[in-house]
Amino acid sequence: MKHKTIIFSLLFSLHCTLWGQTSNHTIKISNDIDLIRLSPNAYIHVSRANMGSFGLVSSNGLIFIDKGLAFLFDTAIDDAQTKTLITWVEKNLHVAFVGFVPNHWHGDCMGGLAYLKSRHIPSYANQMTIDLAKKNHLPFPDKGFRDSLKLKLNDKAIECYYPGAAHSTDNIVVWIPSEKILFAGCMAKEMQSTSKGNLADADIKAWPNTIKKVMAKFPSARIVIPGHGAFGGFEILPHTLEIVSK
């Protein structure tokens, strides 16, 4: 009986490992870019770059796919990495990119926007993001919105929502109802994080209330993606609230 129990445990462990690899398979695109498959329709893209005093930092973005079309949420850190990402996805996943939305105006969200504009991929952003990009002499998205924006990828809904200032004054979240995915970006902190991170453009006082708004608006979020680090479930939001309330 003991031997059977051990064998069963090993088989169960192997099954769980294989299931995890299948459901969240990681694809290495280059030395500094990976894709994490969340579902047949959704991938996290992870790019790594040196960010000064912060050292080598990995940043997350999202790709949403439906029937040969794709939306990009946050670019890689620069135009070269973004070109590598986009061309690989187009060639290997057989899609055409039809839109882009950045989480906020920082380089880890829209550092590759110039490349997207050279490809004439339409871009949408919080109007505050556009204004800040212009103020800082950066490439800026094509079309702005206030408060919220609803987009469509074929018949799939994409909801962009500005809940208030947090990591930056202009940061938004993106909700994909069909996948129950919330791309929260840098206002959300991974479960291993204990730090608020880069506060250069943060609104510390507003941040807790902003997270509370997100928690109230998207209680059914199954996957929550922070701007940096590991994705998780809804628990990322109360974890973030605890960090930013200190």
189 is catalytic: yes
Spatial CB neighbours of 89, under 8 Å, sequence gap ≥ 6 = 35, 43, 63, 70, 95, 97
- In the residue annotation, 228 being an active-site residue is answered as yes
Say whether 136 is catalytic: no
**Active-site position among 60, 103, 126, 198:** 198
**Among the options 45, 104, 156, 239, which is catalytic?**
104
Q: In whole angstroms, give the CA distance from residue 133 to residue 126.
A: 11
Among residues 167, 170, 171, 239, which one is catalytic? 167
106 is catalytic: yes
Q: Known catalytic residue: 186? A: yes
Select which of 45, 156, 189, 239 is catalytic.
Answer: 189
201 token code pair: 């453009």
The torsion of the CA quartet 138, 145, 66, 92, rounded to 10 degrees, works out to 0
Task: Reply yes or no on whether 167 is catalytic.
Answer: yes
> One of 45, 106, 156, 239 is an active-site residue; which one?
106
Selecting among 103, 108, 126, 156, the annotated active-site residue is 108
| Rounded Cα distance, 164 and 17, in Å | 39
Residue 26 C-beta-side C-alpha neighbours within 13 Å: 8
Instruction: Give the catalytic positions in this structure.
Output: 104, 106, 108, 167, 186, 189, 198, 228
